[in-house]
């Protein structure tokens, strides 16, 4: 039986107009809502998708929520987004013995999973950070002893170790747009 966890996903990027119906279907199949506790969001056309956008870090993106997401994921929707190179950010809260996570997908790169705490802040591997701190301590002792070349080498290794454990810099999620879609003109009293 699937563990049900609170999750939300922000979708950005450019979608071709001929894929809008497929995205509408993928969203409807996930039984998501626009806000936690709201009814299911079932978009039928590009206009529904564009009207559902919200402000998010200087972008206008689709934000979808589910307080009962299977394993805290939107498996079919995320597969669709990855298949069609559509960027997204998904956040799943911890629960039932499972850690929370943020998944960042910025095509053409593979999705990156970042563990988070209960407040949504990224977590670190404490043992790995202690090893980096120890390497820095050794480098500082070498500097004090006048062994500059050995200290620099230790510092470079410590930095490499630290960088391997940090997620890469992830660009902001771009605004969600539909290429080639012209919204219907409103009939102004005619």
Look at residue 3 in the predicted model and tell me its pLDDT.
86
- Give the chain's mean pLDDT: 92
pTM, full prediction: 0.84
In 71-173, DSSP assigns E strands to 88-92, 100-105, 112-116
Look at residue 186 in the predicted model and tell me its pLDDT.
53
Residues of the chain with pLDDT under 70: 1, 185-190
Look at residue 1 in the predicted model and tell me its pLDDT.
66
Can you list the pairs that 29-32 forms with residues at least 24 positions away whose Cβ atoms lie under 8 Å? 29/76, 29/77, 30/64, 30/66, 30/74, 30/76, 30/77, 31/66, 32/64, 32/65, 32/66, 32/74, 32/77
3-state secondary structure 134-163: HHHHHHHHHHHCCCHHHHHHHHHHHHHHHH
State how far the Cα of 130 lies from the Cα of 161, in Å rounded to an integer: 11
């Amino acid at each position: 039986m699937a563990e049900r966890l609170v999750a939300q996903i922000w979708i950005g990027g450019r979608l071709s107009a001929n894929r809008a119906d497929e995205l509408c279907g993928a969203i409807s199949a996930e039984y998501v809502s626009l806000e936690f506790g709201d009814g299911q969001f079932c978009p039928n056309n590009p206009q529904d998708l564009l009207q559902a956008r919200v402000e998010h870090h200087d972008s206008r993106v689709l934000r979808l929520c589910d307080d009962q997401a299977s394993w805290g994921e939107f498996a079919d929707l995320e597969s669709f987004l990855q298949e069609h190179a559509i960027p997204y950010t998904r956040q799943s809260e911890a629960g039932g013995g499972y850690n929370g996570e943020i998944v960042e997908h910025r095509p053409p790169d593979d999705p990156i999973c970042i563990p988070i705490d209960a407040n949504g802040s990224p977590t670190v591997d404490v043992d790995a950070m202690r090893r980096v701190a120890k390497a820095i301590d050794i480098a500082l002792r070498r500097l004090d002893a006048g062994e500059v070349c050995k200290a620099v080498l230790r510092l470079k290794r410590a930095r490499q170790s630290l960088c391997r454990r940090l997620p890469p810099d992830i660009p902001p999620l771009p605004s969600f747009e539909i290429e080639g879609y012209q919204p219907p003109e409103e009939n102004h009293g005619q």
